[in-house]
Amino acid sequence: MKTKTRKKHNTITEGSGNVFADMGVPEPEHALAKAKLAAKIAAAIEEEELTQTEAAERLGTDQAKVSAIIRGRLDQFSTERLLQYAQMIGYDVEIRFSRRHQRTGHLRIGT
């Protein structure tokens, strides 16, 4: 019995650092910013051991919206709303501007 061994040629493509840009999502910087904000909100909820209902009360919203944030379903949330939620859950939010020498600037959320 013969066994054929084939070498598979895997191609590895280095990402850009923004998975949303790599996937072709429109406005990838905004999508990444929203995802980072949601991750911070979810981390605070977990860290404080809040139920989704308790988190919803603190954020002035309903449990379904907290669930959506935790699960990364962010279509219904603006970046502004997520920034407000981050503040309400206990984060200080700092917005910085720096002038770019190109036509358009970039949106970036630091962690």
DSSP state of 49: T
Please tell me the predicted confidence (pLDDT) of residue 1. 45
C-alpha torsion sign, points 26, 30, 31, 32: positive
89, 74 Cβ separation under 8 angstroms: no
CA–CA separation, 91 vs 36, rounded Å? Answer: 13
**Series of mean pLDDT values for 10-residue runs along the chain (111 residues):** 60 84 90 94 97 97 98 96 96 82 72 66
* C-alpha to C-alpha distance for 53 and 70, rounded to whole angstroms: 13
**What is the C-alpha separation between 108 and 111, in angstroms, rounded?**
10
Tell me what pLDDT residue 3 has: 52
Query: What predicted TM-score, i.e. pTM, was given to this entire model?
Result: 0.77
Do the Cβ atoms of 32 and 20 come closer than 8 Å? yes
Residues 35 and 46: their CA atoms lie apart, in Å, by 16
